[in-house]
């Protein structure tokens, strides 16, 4: 669209009455449009509660379809956490060059401490490392014969990330420092876990897509029945000048309520399942001297789940309305 | 106000409901539409309400060619035509008040304005004391009057009535006709479909008689 030239200045004889009147009428319209939205929203919710069993069934269908992929997603997340905490997978061993000066080690430690990609750095001096080696390797006597300590200074670095690419970058960055002889990282385990998770996520996504389709159809079918039940009303509304949007509105709100209600119910189901499993999981973890605990959805994820479910309900209603409402015409 | 210009309507079955019908109705006129069932009365009404489209010819309402009105604009057009149905088409899941208020809600009136107009319309048809009732509890004549209140609550310039006295006894029909005359007196164009010959004679208004889909008579009854 091309910008319009400003209208010529109005003559100094304004018509405030006409102008303000039409403005008032527009705001009036907007107000009543808003009012109709809110009354329709409330009325459609009340209508659902008037047939509680039927509504509950639809809510449960939506809830199960939403909770199932969400539960699998949680299982996947927990397995991932568990995997990382078990294997200490991210631990990086940084071997320093021989005869490095203590100030240089301190400088390196400070710089690594400041790095946001790193969780924790521990310095193992050669003497400590040798003692440990003697104690655990069973080669104590052989080592005793050594004239000098062959071990270098080692830094144990625990990265803050589990992403293989980021880990690789971090390792390269550390290895490039002048006092570092070598930085070693067991990437195979990290990569394997990452690939398994990617596979799992795809399975969850495929399942979620199928179940989302199920929600669309379930809500769509329920709305179709609601449209049939209110056929007379739709006819009268169309005869006295109701627009398509006006006729559509209550059904779209009904779909939205089915979706949101189902989402909230799904959260409840997930919470119940988590509570039921958390006791045994905690006891099992204790037996393995692990402080692993089941993690549920956080607040943002919970809100996203309910919102997503609401959008699905709305879409399902839209599908039904688009297909069936147009067929009801007064004749 | 209403202008039919060589209007024909043929249904899918091949039956001609109207053939080359032409007539004019002036603004503020009151007339009756009559004819045997199947003569084309309902089709004519449906064409004005845009429930049907003509096969040939043009229908003009308030100088507006309905052929050029897109589907999207039909609702806004219908708000300017009040319709009283033979079977009243009331909704039994809500009160009399809500039934009459429906066109105002649709047109987006403020709640205060809705209440004022609904009560004025109910007062006009003498049912102000029944606003909280469910229409199913009312008699046939009262239901018809609720239907009339709903048709006029939006103050449309054109009022159509399809056999409004079809199921009513003569005294009640006279009441209803009296109401229509009152609306006509304030400038509303009124068109009433009826096959009640004695009523037509008594009212002594212009009569448009259809027969076999064609205009058989136009003017006052002799």
Q: Edge-to-edge strand order for the sheet containing B206-211? A: B81-84, B158-162, B189-193, B30-34, B206-211, B214-220
Question: Of A185, A213, A247, which residue constitutes the final position of a domain?
Answer: A185
Residue A9: pLDDT above 60?
no
**Which CATH number do you get for residue A137?**
3.30.70.3040
Question: Is A10 contained in some domain?
Answer: no
**Which runs of consecutive H residues, i.e. helices, occur in A102-186?**
102-114, 126-137, 140-144, 164-175
In angstroms, rounded to a whole number, what is the distance separating the alpha carbons of residues A221 and A217?
6
What is the overall mean pLDDT for chain A? 83
Question: Is A308 contained in some domain?
Answer: yes
The residues, any chain, with a CB within 8 Å of residue A102's CB and separated by 6 or more, are none
The residues, any chain, with a CB within 8 Å of residue A191's CB and separated by 6 or more, are A164
Contacts of B52 in chain A (CB under 8 A): 331
Q: Same domain for A283 and A159?
A: no
In angstroms, rounded to a whole number, what is the distance separating the alpha carbons of residues A121 and A90?
12
Question: Is A251 contained in some domain?
Answer: yes
Q: Same domain for A266 and A298?
A: yes
Instruction: Provide the token pair at A208.
Output: 């979620």
Contacts of A242 in chain B (CB under 8 A): 75, 106
Of residues B14 and A56, the one with the higher pLDDT is A56
B187 neighbors B175 (Cβ within 8 angstroms): no
Question: Is A22 contained in some domain?
Answer: no
The dihedral through the CA atoms of A59, A61, A62, A68 has a sign that is positive
Inter-chain touch A331–B49, beta carbons under 8 Å: no
Q: Same domain for A181 and A197?
A: no
Q: Same domain for A52 and A111?
A: no
In angstroms, rounded to a whole number, what is the distance separating the alpha carbons of residues B126 and B107?
24
Q: Same domain for A233 and A169?
A: no
- The predicted structure's pLDDT at residue A65: 94
Q: Same domain for A243 and A136?
A: no
Question: Is A17 contained in some domain?
Answer: no
In angstroms, rounded to a whole number, what is the distance separating the alpha carbons of residues B89 and B190?
19
Q: Residue for token digits 């625990």?
A: A158
**Closest Cα to residue A295, out of A20, A77, A59?**
A77
Question: Is A11 contained in some domain?
Answer: no
Work out the angle at residue B91's Cα, subtended by the Cα atoms of residues B89 and B92, and round it to the nearest 5 degrees: 125
Supply the DSSP string of A103-123, one letter for each residue. Answer: HHHHHHHHHHHH-TTEEEEEE
Confidence of residue A178 (pLDDT cuts 50, 70, 90): confident
Q: What SS3 class is residue B196?
A: coil
B89 touches chain A (CB under 8 A): yes
In angstroms, rounded to a whole number, what is the distance separating the alpha carbons of residues A69 and A203?
9
Residue of A nearest to B111 (CA): A32
Question: Is A5 contained in some domain?
Answer: no
The residues, any chain, with a CB within 8 Å of residue B185's CB and separated by 6 or more, are none
A241-284, pLDDT tens digit by residue?
999 999 999 999 999 999 999 999 999 999 999 999 988 988 88
Inter-chain touch A329–B111, beta carbons under 8 Å: no
Inter-chain touch A36–B108, beta carbons under 8 Å: yes
Question: Is A21 contained in some domain?
Answer: no
Inter-chain touch B83–A240, beta carbons under 8 Å: yes
Residue A205 CB neighbour total at 10 angstroms: 13
Inter-chain touch B150–A242, beta carbons under 8 Å: no
The residues, any chain, with a CB within 8 Å of residue A94's CB and separated by 6 or more, are A154, A155, A156, A157, A174, A175, A180, A182, A183, A184
In angstroms, rounded to a whole number, what is the distance separating the alpha carbons of residues B193 and B32?
6
Q: Same domain for A253 and A200?
A: yes
A124 neighbors A187 (Cβ within 8 angstroms): no
A32 touches chain B (CB under 8 A): yes
Q: Same domain for A74 and A46?
A: yes
What is the number of domains present in chain A? Answer: 2
Q: What is the DSSP letter of A81?
A: H
- The predicted structure's pLDDT at residue A115: 83
Residue B5: pLDDT above 80?
yes
Inter-chain touch A241–B79, beta carbons under 8 Å: yes
Question: Of A136, A155, A185, which residue constitutes the final position of a domain?
Answer: A185
- The predicted structure's pLDDT at residue B180: 93
Q: How far is B136 from chain A (nearest CA, A)?
A: 15
In angstroms, rounded to a whole number, what is the distance separating the alpha carbons of residues A285 and B31?
90
Contacts of B49 in chain A (CB under 8 A): 239, 330
Q: Same domain for A242 and A298?
A: yes
Question: Of A185, A201, A221, which residue constitutes the final position of a domain?
Answer: A185
B55-72, pLDDT tens digit by residue?
999 999 998 999 999 988
- The predicted structure's pLDDT at residue A5: 47
Q: Same domain for A176 and A216?
A: no
Inter-chain touch B52–A331, beta carbons under 8 Å: yes
Q: What is the mean pLDDT of residues A60-86?
A: 86
Q: Same domain for A244 and A177?
A: no
Across A139-143, A220-224, B151-155, least confident range: A139-143
B90-111, pLDDT tens digit by residue?
999 899 999 999 999 998 888 8
Q: How many CB pairs under 8 A join A and B?
A: 61
A330 touches chain B (CB under 8 A): yes
In angstroms, rounded to a whole number, what is the distance separating the alpha carbons of residues A318 and B213?
42
Inter-chain touch B83–A238, beta carbons under 8 Å: no
What ipTM, to 2 d.p.? Answer: 0.90
Q: Same domain for A315 and A205?
A: yes
Cα torsion A193, A197, A203, A204 to 10°: value is 150
Expressed as residue numbers, the domain containing A223 is: 35-83+193-327
Q: How far is B33 from chain A (nearest CA, A)?
A: 19
**Closest Cα to residue B71, out of A234, A331, A249, A243?**
A243
């Amino acid at each position: 669209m091309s910008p319009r030239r400003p209208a010529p200045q109005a003559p100094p004889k304004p018509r405030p009455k006409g102008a303000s009147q039409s403005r008032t009428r527009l705001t009036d319209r907007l107000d009543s449009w808003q009012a109709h939205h809110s009354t329709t929203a409330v009325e459609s919710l009340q209508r659902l509660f008037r047939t509680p069993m039927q509504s509950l069934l639809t809510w449960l269908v939506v809830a199960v379809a939403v909770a199932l992929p969400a539960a699998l997603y949680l299982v996947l997340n927990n397995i991932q956490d568990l995997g990382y905490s078990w294997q200490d997978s991210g631990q990086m061993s940084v071997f320093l060059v021989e005869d490095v000066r203590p100030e240089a080690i301190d400088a390196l430690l400070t710089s690594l401490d400041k790095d946001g990609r790193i969780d924790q750095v521990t310095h193992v001096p050669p003497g400590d490392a040798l003692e440990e080696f003697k104690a655990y390797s069973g080669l104590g006597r052989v080592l005793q014969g050594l004239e000098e300590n062959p071990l270098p200074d080692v830094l144990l670095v625990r990265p803050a990330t589990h992403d293989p690419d980021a880990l690789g970058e971090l390792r390269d960055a550390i290895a490039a420092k002048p006092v570092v002889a070598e930085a070693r990282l067991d990437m195979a385990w990290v990569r394997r876990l990452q690939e398994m998770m990617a596979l799992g996520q795809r399975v969850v996504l495929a399942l979620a897509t199928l179940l989302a389709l199920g929600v669309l159809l379930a809500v769509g079918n329920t709305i179709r029945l609601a449209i049939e039940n209110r056929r007379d009303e739709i006819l009268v509304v169309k005869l006295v000048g109701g627009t398509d949007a006006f006729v559509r509105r209550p059904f779209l709100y009904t779909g939205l309520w089915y979706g949101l209600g189902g989402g909230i119910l799904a959260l409840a189901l997930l919470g119940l399942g988590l509570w039921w499993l958390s006791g045994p999981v905690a006891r099992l973890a204790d037996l393995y001297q692990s402080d692993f605990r089941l993690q549920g959805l956080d607040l943002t994820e919970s809100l996203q789940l309910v919102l997503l479910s609401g959008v699905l309900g709305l879409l399902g209603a839209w599908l039904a309305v688009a297909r069936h409402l147009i067929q009801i015409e007064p004749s | 106000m209403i202008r039919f210009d060589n209007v024909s309507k043929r249904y899918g079955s091949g039956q001609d409901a109207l053939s080359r019908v032409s007539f004019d109705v002036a603004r503020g006129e009151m007339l009756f539409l009559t004819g045997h069932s199947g003569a084309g009365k309902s089709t004519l009404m449906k064409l004005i309400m845009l429930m049907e489209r003509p096969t040939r010819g043009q229908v003009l309402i308030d100088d507006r060619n309905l052929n050029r009105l897109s589907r999207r604009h039909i609702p806004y057009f219908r708000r300017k035509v009040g319709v009283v149905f033979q079977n009243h088409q009331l909704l039994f899941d809500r009160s009399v008040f809500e039934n009459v208020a429906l066109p105002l809600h649709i047109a987006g009136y403020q709640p205060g304005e809705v209440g004022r107009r609904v009560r004025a319309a109910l007062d006009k048809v003498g049912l102000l004391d029944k606003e909280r009732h469910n229409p199913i509890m009312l008699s046939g004549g009262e239901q018809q009057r609720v239907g009339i209140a709903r048709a006029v609550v939006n103050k449309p310039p054109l009022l159509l009535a399809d056999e409004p006295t079809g199921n009513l006894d003569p005294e009640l029909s006279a009441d209803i006709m009296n109401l229509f005359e009152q609306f006509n007196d304030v400038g509303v164009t009124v068109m009433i479909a009826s096959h009640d010959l004695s009523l037509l004679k008594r009212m002594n208004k212009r009569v448009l008689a259809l027969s076999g889909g064609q205009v058989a008579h136009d003017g006052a009854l002799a």
